[in-house]
Structure 1
Amino acid sequence: MTVDEPITPEPILQLGLGFMASKTLLSAVELQVFTVLAAGGRDRDSLAGAVGLHPRSSADFLDALVSLGLLNRDDDGVYHNSPSADVFLDRAKPSYVGGILEMADTRLFGFWDHLTDALRTGVQQNEVTHTGAPFFATLSQDPVAWRNFLNGMNGVSTPLAGALAADFDWTGRRHVADLGGALGAVPAAVLRSHPEMTGTVFELPPVRQVFDEYVAAHGLSDRLSFHGGDFFSDPLPAADVYVMGQILHDWNLEQRRFLLRKAYDALPDGGTLIVYDAMIDDDRRRNTYGFMLSLNMLIDTEGGSEYTVADATRWLTEAGFAKTSARPLIGGYTAVYATK
């Protein structure tokens, strides 16, 4: 900053009041604004009627979405989805990421109100703390909510899966197993570009029905299988490449070391473990997204957090892996490749 540049409170105020923009998006997802507009543009009254807006709120709400870059409004007053909203926020598209936003709206938005409590106590602030009901056990009992959540998580993972499939050298690899891989976005991306390979998703049994639907829709039922189990207590499926994507950040240090050692022991010589997360830069200054996710892990898990690339490399080396290399992916995520 030069001497002539004024210091204003605007950046601080925008940051402090950022929850307003966040909730505007989350409400738009809940009201299915983007899904309605995916079928074609609508003027204000038509759109307000379709999604149930009161006349007092409709103009400012819809134009706020325009200002946020989520909607476009043409000279005739007709609203359209922005290109990114049309791809990622239309429930009818496989690229829909709104499931994770719906979960953020119904769960995380309220739990983040207890961030200060978590910072002071180190205790998670989710259902376990406030209602005594574990999130996944409860959610999996609601078929619609469960499917929306898994599809939303899969939508978030799909761009990462494409980046990983393109970045890693899969030459000579025969079978990839995604440990905790949800619907299988990563192996699906790999198998589409490597027809000689097969894959497995190792996940908790309640995921299977939605997994089967996803795999069938992508024509991979004969090459991508489901293996139900718990990676803490059950044997890992055989593979020459394991993937742990957005897994280690859920657990404490002892559990992370256990999982990495278990993967090392199960891999054949020359096998590779791929770990990816929103890893914090080693200088701990730049990856804001990683820091926000780490605070979310504070709120939503008993001992989880994000971690640095150096941390991951050290744990993998301690587990026995002879060679490691870190590669940036997209959106603040990093992959570490570790070979036995």
Structure 2
Amino acid sequence: MEQQSSPDPSRIMQIGMGFWAAKVVLTAVSFKLFSILAKGPLSGQQLKEKLKLGATDRHVYDWLDALVSLGFLQREGIWDKAMYSNSADADTFLDEQKPAYLGGILTMANSRLYNVWSKLDKGLKTGKPQNEEGKGGNMEIFETMYKDQEKLQLFMDGMSGIQTGNFNALINKFDFNNYDTMADVGGADGWLSILVCGKHPKIKCINFDLAPVEPLAVKKIAKHNLSDRIAHHSGDFMKNELPHAQLITMGNILHGLNEDLKHFMLQKVYNSLPTGGAFIAIENVIDNERKQNTFGLLMSLNMLLENGDAFDYTFSDFEKWTKDVGFKKTELMHLNGPCSAAIAYK
């Protein structure tokens, strides 16, 4: 007879108190701890002095050792004989000098989302956005954010960092050789276009985003010597006509819209594509059974807090909406982690 295990509260406590661990890591990012340790191992005392920490030695060690237990740091020795260094993942993704740096999105999480998410209960009660401006629906939060150059740069860096793995996976899996032109709508600083052009020498791209993004995008495109192949067009994808291209891409755009606006946007995309063209939505597409992609479900709640009636969606949703506006065929391509490319062909 199989013995049943006793109920175990450990997972309940781990998740329920998960903000403790999150804040330990987010604080380390805000202190640039991983960038400091990328230059070489340091002792707890050396880190305390470099970071100008006023806490007791024991609490500094508690914080550093918590990062060891969470897998962000490695340690040789213990207490005052301990030498701390980055784990492989932290060294790759949390050193601001590395190209795969993810600290931008984590900095935004610490400075913005941590406080916004503290109001999830109010968001669920009211169905209203809980961000700084209390605005949503048509993604007005971005217009507000883009007025502040510091917030804009933070957002651009965060998006580039977190999407790099997904973009590279897409470039390796999707056959861009079938298309001569691509328009990345809501393309921020042009990172997807840059990566696509780097891999596929024949394609020409349009990076389309709000006017305040233009200086950042033009500078980044020029830095990669691609100004002759990537043009930046300024505009509002909700109000202006979309660029015409054989391939249109959107990264984390549809999920920021309510269902009516999703349908409206997909119709605009369809109208801008030629016959034989394709649309790619890079999103945290929720599994159709709504049981596996926890991050996608959490991201959908993030859209509640940011935009009110916006939400993330399943591939079945995507199939229905794209068929409604005239697309003939759809495909789901898994990228990295919770992210996939939902593809519709005209």
TM-score (norm 1): 0.94
> Is residue 216 of structure 2 the alignment partner of residue 216 of structure 1?
no
- Residue range with higher mean Cα deviation, 251-260 or 319-328: 319-328
Q: Counterparts of 1:127-276 in structure 2 under 5 Å?
A: 127-129=132-134, 135-276=141-282
Structure 2 gaps of 5+ residues are: none
Q: CA deviation at 1:211?
A: 1.5
CA shift digits 1:157-187 (9 cap, x unpaired): 1111001111111223111111111122322
Q: 1:312, 1:115 → 2: CA distance?
A: 26
> Is residue 300 of structure 2 the alignment partner of residue 286 of structure 1?
no
Q: 1:222, 1:65 → 2: CA distance?
A: 45
Instruction: Please name the residue that 2:84 is paired with.
Output: 79
2:311 to 301, 305, 309: 305
Q: CA deviation at 1:150?
A: 0.7
CA shift digits 1:252-291 (9 cap, x unpaired): 0111111100110111111101112111111111111111
1:91 to 89, 96, 116: 96
> Is residue 67 of structure 2 the alignment partner of residue 65 of structure 1?
yes
* 1:276 match: secondary structure: strand
Q: 1:44, 1:110 → 2: CA distance?
A: 30
Instruction: Please name the residue that 1:53 is paired with.
Output: 53
Contact 1:279 1:290 in 2 (8 A): yes
Contact 2:283 2:342 in 1 (8 A): no
> Is residue 106 of structure 2 the alignment partner of residue 106 of structure 1?
no
Q: CA deviation at 1:316?
A: 0.6
Instruction: Please name the residue that 1:32 is paired with.
Output: 32
Contact 2:72 2:86 in 1 (8 A): yes
CA shift digits 1:69-124 (9 cap, x unpaired): 11111246221111111121122233221111111111111111111111121111
* 2:118 match: secondary structure: helix
Amino acid at match of 1:236: L
Structure 1 gaps of 5+ residues are: none
Amino acid at match of 1:227: H
Contact 1:174 1:196 in 2 (8 A): yes
Q: CA deviation at 1:250?
A: 0.3
Q: CA deviation at 1:141?
A: 4.0
TM-score (norm 2): 0.93
- Residue range with higher mean Cα deviation, 139-148 or 153-162: 139-148
Root-mean-square deviation over aligned CA pairs: 1.6
Q: CA deviation at 1:202?
A: 0.6
Q: What percent of counterpart residues are identical?
A: 39
Contact 1:251 1:302 in 2 (8 A): no
The list of structure 1 runs, each at least 4 consecutive aligned residues, that deviate by more than 4 angstroms after superposition, is: none
Q: Give the length in aligned residue pairs.
A: 336
Q: 2:83, 2:168 → 1: CA distance?
A: 34
